Structures are given as C-alpha cells and as structure tokens.
Amino acid sequence: MTVLVTGATGMFGARVTALLAESGVDVLAMTRSRERAEEMTCGSVTGVVADLDDPSSLSAVMEQADRLFLVSPMHAELGRREVAAIESAQVHGIDQVVKLYGSVRHEGDQLDVQHQLSIEALRNSGLQWSLVSPQTVMETNLLGQIEGIRYERSMFGSAGDGRIGMVALDDCAQVAAHVLRADPSAWSERNLEITGPEALTYTEIAGELSKAFECPISYIDMSEDAFAAMLIEYGVPAEELELQVLCHFRQMRAGKASLVTDTFELVIGRPATSIFEWARAHRDAFGLSDD
Ligand SMILES: NC(=O)c1ccc[n+]([C@@H]2O[C@H](COP(=O)([O-])OP(=O)(O)OC[C@H]3O[C@@H](n4cnc5c(N)ncnc54)[C@H](OP(=O)(O)O)[C@@H]3O)[C@@H](O)[C@H]2O)c1
C-alpha cells in the first residue's frame, strides 16, 4: 500500500509521513520543492514534486498512490486546492482519502468556508473518506510563545477566559496514521474530532506550564486589536494574521474551542496527552534551563 501525503514538509504532513514510514508503509511525500523532495527520500519515503495550484502536476503522483492524506495550509485558496486533489483522486481511483479538518467551531468564518468546499467535494466524490479533526494544537499555540516564555515568562493572546481542549500534534498524527493503515471502510464518512483530555483557559494553561517548567509563567490577555498590533510589530505578515492567528483566538475567546472528546483513547487505546505532559516533554525547546 502506498499513501500520498500532501503538505509533507508541514506540521501535520511531516509527522504523519514519519509515523507511516515507521510502520513500514510506503509514502509519497509531496512538496513543491525538488530539493525538499530529495531531502525527504529515505527508506519507505519517496519525496515527490507537485503543486495543488497546478492540478496537472497531480496526475503523476496520484497514479502511483492507493490512499491520500490531504492537508493544505490555512489559506484563502484551501478549498480550491483541496478540491483539485479530490478530483484527481477520483480520476485515479484512490481507495481512501483522509482529510485534515479541525474541531474548533469556526462556523462560517473564512477558514471554515474553505474547509466546507473540500468536505462537500468529498461527500459528492463517491470515494471512501474520513476526516481527522484536531482541536487547536499545542505545538502551534505554545511553541509560538517560546520567545515570550523564555524572556518574559509570559504568554500573550486574546483568548480571554475561553476554555480550550488543546491537543498534541502527535496524538492527531497517530490517529491519522491509524486510519490510513486501517480498512478504508472502518472509519468511512466519520469525523474523528481529536482533543486534549481537558478544556483549560489560557490562564490555567500558563499554570500547567509553570508546574512543568518549575517557574512562574503568566498569561497576558489583550484586546484583539492590541494583540494584532503586537504580532505585526514582531514581524507576522499582515496578510497571514487573520487566517493563521486572529480567527483562532476569536473562536477560543467565544468558547468555540472547548470541545473535549475521548476519540483519541477510543482509536489508539490510551489517554490523550495533557498540557503538563506535553510541556515536560518539550521543556528543552523553551530554552529555560539556559537562563
Ligand atoms: N494548527 C492547528 O492548531 C490546527 C488545528 C486544527 C486543524 N488545522 C488544520 O491544519 C491544516 C494546516 O496544516 P499544517 O499546519 O500542517 O500546514 P502547514 O505546515 O502550514 O503547510 C503544509 C505544507 O503545505 C505545502 N503547500 C503550501 N502551498 C501548497 C500548494 N499550493 N500545493 C501543495 N502544497 C502546498 C507546503 O509545503 P512545500 O512548501 O514543501 O510545498 C507546507 O509545508 C489546515 O487545514 C488547518 O485548518 C490546524
């Protein structure tokens, strides 16, 4: 069996590629860069070059694959890009598509409109498909705060008191890899919402980091405008701000990221990773011991 992984150089795609390869599955790891394709080629992983913005480039990789893990960046063209991949999967008779979605209730915002285009195409495709839907991810939220935590012992955001069922990247990738190895009918047309074990506010998350790092970390809550201005000052490109950051904090503040499920435990057979466990395992990345 060969799985084509789109976005293979990205956060989810790279981890799913590694997990599939560890279990001996042949992976076609897709990137737009020939150099990165060569770097990724090792063992059962073959780097392949294609571009979701150039549907004609997809045929050559799709025809070598049996299954597809579909992930693309949070971008205004996410829908069009993923629909191109789904159409190519139909042409090439792909046995199963596992699409990365999300379980924060974005409910009609720009990002969700894009995801719904892709989901609608899957529903109408006649293909066997499943959704793997992470809550907002610890790596994105907490590794993104490294500088503030290391130098100011503070995290910044505009999440207010919203509760968040934040989930570890690895837990989501484990579920995606499991579904991609299973009989395609086993999880067909299911939306697997993967969350952490509990929903905490950002202030409570700072408390968990304080325990894990054995030093006080605080959370500074800001208005959305003040937070946006700070991010621009720190170099986040203005055109990325809404889809990459602000729409997520808005939903967290509104309590739309509070879902907690036992799906990870049901699929994988052990409890989901807590913030405290994740923070202990990633302590070195925060460089606190160097101070
Ligand atoms: N972060 C979270 O907390 C979270 C939670 C739930 C769901 N999600 C979902 O996760 C997805 C994003 O996943 P991610 O963070 O892993 O993505 P990512 O790291 O931002 O990007 C994945 C890769 O996509 C490739 N790419 C960019 N444009 C492309 C194109 N036109 N054609 C083909 N490939 C292209 C890039 O690889 P190359 O440059 O090598 O081509 C990039 O490394 C979104 O659907 C988002 O809604 C995120």
The model's confidence at residue 288, banded by pLDDT at 50, 70 and 90, is confident
Per the prediction, the chain carries an average pLDDT of 96
pLDDT at 205 over 60: yes
Phi, psi of 288, deg, nearest 5: -70, -30
Residues 174 and 253 in one domain: no
Give domain status of residue 145, yes or no. yes
The model's confidence at residue 289, banded by pLDDT at 50, 70 and 90, is low
The model's confidence at residue 98, banded by pLDDT at 50, 70 and 90, is very high
Q: Is the CB of 52 under 6 A from ligand 1?
A: yes
- Residue with the smallest CA separation from ligand 1 atom 17 is 73
Q: What does the pLDDT look like over 209-245, one tens digit per residue?
A: 999 999 999 999 999 999 999 999 999 999 999 999 9
pLDDT at 89 over 80: yes
> Of the residues 5, 11, 45, which should be mutated to test ligand 1's pocket, given the most ligand atoms within 8 Å of the CB?
11
Q: Supply angle C-alpha 273, 190, 183, rounded to 5.
A: 90
Instruction: Tell me, in angstroms, the distance from the centre of ligand 1 to residue 204's CA.
Output: 29
- pLDDT-above-70 percentage for the chain: 99
CATH number at residue 232: 3.90.25.10
Using the Cα atoms of residue 207, residue 155, residue 143 and residue 161 in order, give the sign of their dihedral: positive
User: What is the per-residue pLDDT for 253?
Assistant: 97
Q: Is the CB of 55 under 6 A from ligand 1?
A: no
Instruction: Tell me, in angstroms, the distance from the centre of ligand 1 to residue 8's CA.
Output: 8
The answer to whether residues 157 and 164 touch, using CB atoms and an 8 Å cutoff, is no
Residues 223 and 126 in one domain: no
- pLDDT-above-90 percentage for the chain: 96
The structure tokens listed for 128 are 């066997």
Domain boundary, last residue among 194, 211, 239: 194
Q: Quote the pTM value.
A: 0.96
The model's confidence at residue 108, banded by pLDDT at 50, 70 and 90, is confident
Give domain status of residue 265, yes or no. no
CATH number at residue 124: 3.40.50.720
Residues 35 and 104 in one domain: yes
Task: Quote the number of domains for the chain.
Answer: 2
Q: What does the pLDDT look like over 145-204, one tens digit per residue?
A: 999 999 999 999 999 999 999 999 999 999 999 999 999 999 999 999 999 999 999 999
pLDDT at 291 over 90: no
Give domain status of residue 263, yes or no. no
Q: What does the pLDDT look like over 10-48, one tens digit per residue?
A: 999 999 999 999 999 999 999 999 999 999 999 999 999
Q: 120 lies in which domain range? A: 2-135+167-194
- Residue with the smallest CA separation from ligand 1 atom 4 is 136
In the block, residue with structure tokens 């012992």: 153
Give domain status of residue 18, yes or no. yes
> Of the residues 72, 112, 132, 242, which should be mutated to test ligand 1's pocket, given the most ligand atoms within 8 Å of the CB?
72
Residues 65 and 157 in one domain: no
pLDDT at 90 over 70: yes
